[in-house]
Amino acid sequence: MVRPRSGATKLGCLLYLLVVSAILYFGIPVGETYFRYQEYKDAMRQELRFRSNLPNDKIRLHLKVMADSLGLPEEAGDVTVHRQGNEISVESEYDEPINILGYKKQIHFVPRAVDTY
């Protein structure tokens, strides 16, 4: 004999969905911020790997354009280029705000890449 279901849900399932939703709601803005940071670091590595023979001003300009295209704050485009012997390094420093439920937090990033040529 088959009994019809009452249609009631278990509280555990709803609690699980609530926790997953909260993780996604709070995690996506933070994850996007770190993803852009990693993309910028990767752009720095590629710039040094393939264009280290260019003048410092050209490298700075390329990275400034990349920071702008990623939607990073303006100060992320202020790149410092150092050359010493056969080593070249680029570095930037910027803060990116994250807003979660009206609470604003600044995350400080210092992307850096080093290569030899």
* Domain boundaries along the sequence of the chain: 19-116
pTM of the model: 0.81
Is 90 exceeded by the pLDDT of residue 91? yes
Strands 94-100 and 103-109: antiparallel
- Which pLDDT tens digit goes with each residue over 17-43? 889 998 888 888 889 999 999 999 999
DSSP state of 54: S
Q: What are phi and psi of 95, to 5 degrees?
A: -115, 140
Strands of 87-91's sheet in order across: 80-84, 87-91, 112-116
**Of all helices (H) and strands (E), which one includes residue 3?**
none
Distance CA 28, CA 24 (A): 6
Per-residue confidence (pLDDT) for residue 44, from 0 to 100:
97
**Of residues 2 and 83, which shows the higher confidence score?**
83
Per-residue confidence (pLDDT) for residue 83, from 0 to 100:
95
Distance CA 28, CA 30 (A): 5
Q: Predicted confidence band at 1 (pLDDT cuts at 50, 70, 90)?
A: low
* Count of residues making up the chain: 117
Distance CA 10, CA 73 (A): 46
Is 80 exceeded by the pLDDT of residue 48? yes
Q: How large a percentage of the chain has pLDDT more than 70?
A: 91
- Residue 101 gets the label, from left (phi > 0), alpha (psi -120 to 50) or beta, of left
